[in-house]
Amino acid sequence: MSQTDMTIFEKLESEVRSYVRSFPTVFTKAKGYKMWDQKGTEYLDFFSGAGALNYGHNDPMMKAKLVDYILSDGITHSLDMATAPKAEFLTKFNEVILKPRNLEYKVMFPGPTGTNTVESALKLARKVTGRTDIISFTNGFHGMTIGALSVTGNAFKRKGAGIPLQNVVTMPYDSFVNDNLDTLEYLERFLEDGGSGVDIPAAMILETVQGEGGINAASFEWLQRVEQICKRWGILLIVDDVQAGVGRTGTFFSFEKAGIKPDIVCMSKSIGGYGLPLAITLIRLDLDIWEPGEHNGTFRGNNHAFVTAAAALSYWEDPKFEKSIEEKSEKIFNFLEGIVAKYPELQGEARGRGFMVGISTEIEGLAASIAEEAFQRGLIMETSGPKDEVFKLFPPLVIDNEGLEQGFKIIEDSVKAVLGAKELVIS
């Protein structure tokens, strides 16, 4: 294949493109935790498609099933008609994921993106309760369509709406103000005081670990209290597990260890397994009061994704998988804490849970410089947070020790290089 000219994107693609600016090369091939560009340069992927590639790139087992399916002329696009791969996914999801966790949900297939599942969840919560407001949390990120954007905190993204965003009240996430302020005491005062200006909402929506908002992990106790408050006031609890779900924080659902049972769960990204577009909305049985077709979408029957999604669930049949995530998570967090301790100039703080972690630093621009340096050295990772103050480690869950060690080395080298260069400038 001839080489692709990078200027094609400048000439033909909208200015809205963004990651191509941070990682300016033409990617062609990928496998597991590795990516290659057209020049053959190899990159370690510590980004995982922002959480869409928890099983790594082009998993061989899923690949085989997908190719078989395509070769057999299996139906590709089916809207919400019944198909064999859909039935298989539904059955396996119920058997492998829901039942063992003692969960009962109906599965809805909205359009195959994270923002679509969030929109479906908000609609349903309003329909069920007859209320209009939603409580969201500071630095929450839920998507870019108007409904989902309304519950998203980021000012830059919000401004993009071009209209005032409505029907939402933002409450402080765990530790938002400082570590001493009990944000839930605050929240509940608003609910209990009839003069607070905050009406009882249809739902609260939250991520248990905020991916885009700066790798903020809510404590399990905080999550439990949110659930209690929701129950006390008849508010539905929506967990947006689009990024934190599918093992990213260590368990299939990010809320398992907190012991809570959300009323609605939003999933996308890695649910498809292979990086193919898919989204599902899990609905508590008695809340499934949708009329047929009340929320729909053309690509809600993406059978290629059903095939790989069903295949991916096999990983969860063996308890070793979850255990291996836990072990590697510990290793990663130790590495991060080591970096923070070893490089005090970084003024860093290790954050997050499981494979959803990073280091925040208050030094302006530092996190971005480190990520840039890492890319030069062959590792892809991104920054996060309202001021891009966190560099974010998001390797695939299936990464092996060798990959981790390689990545750690590049990251530490990058930290050193950037801090060194900084010192040179200062001194």
Region 97-136 residues binding its own copies, contact defined as CB under 8 A: 106-116, 119-120, 122-123, 125-127, 132-133, 136
Q: Minimum distance between the CB of residue 25 and its own copies, rounded to whole angstroms? A: 7
360 binds its own copies (CB under 8 A): no
250 binds its own copies (CB under 8 A): no
**Under 8 Å between Cβ of 275 and 124:** no
41 binds its own copies (CB under 8 A): no
Nearest-CA neighbor of 351 among 211, 237, 251?
211
Q: Minimum distance between the CB of residue 58 and its own copies, rounded to whole angstroms? A: 5
* One of 16, 424, 425, 426 touching its own copies (CB under 8 A): 16
Query: 60-71 and 303-312 helices cross at what angle (nearest 10)?
Result: 150
Backbone angles phi, psi at 118, to 5 degrees: -65, -45
Tokens linked to 403: 């990959």
For tokens 């898919």, the residue is 278
**Under 8 Å between Cβ of 121 and 205:** yes
Site for its own copies in 134-173 (CB under 8 A): 136-140, 143-148, 150-164, 166-170, 172
Tokens linked to 14: 């909208």
Instruction: Pick the piece of the chain touching its own copies (CB under 8 A) from 296-304, 312-320, 402-410, 412-420.
Output: 296-304
31 binds its own copies (CB under 8 A): yes
Number of chain residues interacting with its own copies (CB under 8 A): 155
**Under 8 Å between Cβ of 118 and 151:** yes
179 binds its own copies (CB under 8 A): no
Site for its own copies in 79-98 (CB under 8 A): 79-84, 86-88, 90-91, 93-94
Site for its own copies in 184-203 (CB under 8 A): 185-186, 189-190, 193-199, 202
Distance CA 142, CA 157 (A): 11
Task: Please name the residues in contact with 344: beta carbons below 8 A apart, sequence gap of 6 or more.
Answer: none
Residue nearer to its own copies on the CB measure, 49 or 378: 49
Distance CA 251, CA 265 (A): 15
Site for its own copies in 364-423 (CB under 8 A): 385-387
Residue nearer to its own copies on the CB measure, 31 or 377: 31
Q: Minimum distance between the CB of residue 178 and its own copies, rounded to whole angstroms? A: 8
Distance CA 396, CA 33 (A): 6
341 binds its own copies (CB under 8 A): no
Backbone angles phi, psi at 45, to 5 degrees: -95, 95
DSSP-derived secondary structure letter, 377: T
Residue nearer to its own copies on the CB measure, 74 or 378: 74
